[in-house]
Amino acid sequence: MGREKQDEAGGVEKATIPLLKDQNAAEEKEGEIKREIWMETKKLWRIVGPAIFTRVSTYAIFVITQAFAGHLGELELAAISIVNNVIVGFNYGLFIGMATALETLCGQAFGAKKYDMLGVYLQRSWIVLFLCSILLLPMYFFATPILKFFGQPDDIAELSGTIALWAIPTHFSFAFFFPINRFLQCQLKNMVIAISSGVALVVHIFVCWLFVYRLNLGVVGAIATANVSWWLNGFILFTYITCGGCPLTWTGFSMEAFTKLWEFTKLSASSGIMLCLENWYYRILIVMTGNLENAKTVVDSMSICMSINGLEMMVPLAFFAGTGVRVANELGAGKGKRAKFAMVISVTQSLIVGIIISVLILFLHNQIGWIFSSSENVIKSVNNLSLLLAFSILLNSVHPVLSGAAVGSGWQSLVAFINLACYYFIGLPLGFIMGWIFNSGVKGIWAGMIFGGTAMQTLLLIFFTMRCNWEKEAQKASMSVKKWSVSDARPV
């Protein structure tokens, strides 16, 4: 009997040993996953943290300019909103998009340790973007007739045309600043960009106050201050690069920058179209609202919502940048699984931030209009649109990050087709039907464009990224680095 009990006890002990081993293995695996998440989060936020500050600071230049002009009157707010959100905003989105070609090329080259190629890519980007900026100048010179053609009231179109001419220096600053921004970002020199942007923002607030309230230069003075701030930001970063801040990646101006320009232009154009189809989508929304009754109030309230949406959009766009760099770095180093893991972590954390900001918008829906206007009608109209604004912000926290993974992988053309189909073949027609056919006004237009365009685009991006073979993408990235390298490039 005693022997049986002993055997039984021994059997139980033997049976529990595998269970203990399995439990320990599970705990070790869980601990390893937590460490991986923490390490990836640190790498991601090393880019995203300063990028949020940088993007919010640079976009805040537009918001602050609009806020100063808005308290001059409803006409001034409507005119500067049209210029900032449609004309300048159109080109702002284009140049951001075209500069993201550097995120693909510089990110992959940096991951592959082809450091000497980054300076060449930067110079190619300057050449392409400056030529593009010259081609776009007619938008500024003929702003008034263009806006009248699209149905804007005469007084808004006339004042917008005057303001647009003063915005031309800002237009050229984009071609200079955004390539520098991406060049430094791919080297993880994000604190330098953040400090420069902070200095430019502080200068902008002071100059805005001086021009508008002390020198009484009105709405023209407000838009002129943006020229000072954008060019100051660019020159600070240019000085840092050329005075020894990037010894491995900047070795001076090179004639190699004039080689492979057509290939670089095609990649930049794909990148630009990818983001611009999305950026212009919401600019068109403001133009469409100008054809509704009570145009000044509608345009003012819609432009305020778009300014808030645009300011918040800088957060997911920072994740867009971080995802693009992390994915490109890992693919350039031949690590497909690490690239996928980086994307998942980025999407999750961006979504959490988006939920928090959406909830804040809903809680503060009565107050947000006061920042831009003293008009009771405008504030009430903004309040009515706050639910759509919150939902738009929530969706915006996902799809830009997935687009960042596309940039890191070089899928710009695919995303451009997705954006074109979702936004312009589904979203815009649905917005038109809900706004005019069903007489839902600005809320109907915006709701149709959100549910028809943005939601559909988000679902398609999720579908394609889930089906992606990341190991194959890593192999493609290695081939891409070789393709874009100059003949004498050597790994450092």
What 8-state DSSP symbol labels residue 278? H
- pLDDT (tens digit per residue) in 216-252: 888 888 888 989 999 999 999 999 999 988 898 898 8
Alpha helices (runs of H) in 71-136, residue ranges in sequence order:
74-82, 89-99, 101-111, 116-135
**pLDDT band at residue 165 under the 50/70/90 scheme:** very high
Tokens of 58: 């640079």
Which residues are CB-neighbours of 415 under 8 A, at least 6 positions away? Answer: 274, 403, 406, 461
Q: Cα(first)–Cα(last) distance of the chain, in Å?
A: 75
Percent helix / strand / coil, the chain, rounded to 5: 85, 0, 15
pLDDT in tens, 347-365: 899 999 999 999 998 888 7
Q: Would you state the pLDDT for residue 17?
A: 57
Using an 8 Å Cβ cutoff, are 96 and 407 in contact?
no
Task: Report in angstroms the alpha-carbon separations of 277 from 269, 295, 412, 423.
Answer: 12, 25, 12, 7
Q: Which amino acid is at 395?
A: L
Q: Are residues 331 and 477 in contact, defined by beta-carbon separation less than 8 angstroms? A: yes
Residue appearing with tokens 């999407």: 347
pLDDT given for residue 492 in this prediction:
31
Q: Which of 128, 133, 136, 135 is nearest to 265 (CA)?
A: 128
Which residues, including other chains, have CB under 8 Å from residue 241's CB and lie 6 or more apart?
Answer: 180, 183, 184, 250
**If you average pLDDT over every residue of the chain, what do you get?**
81
CB 273 within 8 A of CB 72: no
Report pLDDT for 192: 92
- Name the residue ranges covered by the structural domains of the chain: 48-482
Binning pLDDT at 50, 70 and 90, where does residue 19 land? low
- Rounded to whole angstroms, how far apart are CA atoms 179 and 98? 9
Check whether 483 has a pLDDT greater than 70.
Answer: no
pLDDT in tens, 293-320: 666 677 778 778 887 887 888 888 888 7
Q: Does 129 have pLDDT greater than 50?
A: yes
- Provide the Cα torsion 290, 55, 326, 35; round to 10°: -120
Whether the full predicted model's pTM is greater than 0.85, yes or no, is no
What's the token pair of residue 347?
């999407």
Alpha helices (runs of H) in 385-469, residue ranges in sequence order: 386-396, 399-409, 412-419, 428-432, 441-449, 455-467
The highest-confidence range among 68-72, 119-123, 279-283, by mean pLDDT, is 119-123
Q: Which of 271, 289, 291 is nearest to 103 (CA)?
A: 271
pLDDT tens by residue, 400-413 = 888 777 766 667 67
Q: Is residue 183 scored above 80 in pLDDT?
A: yes
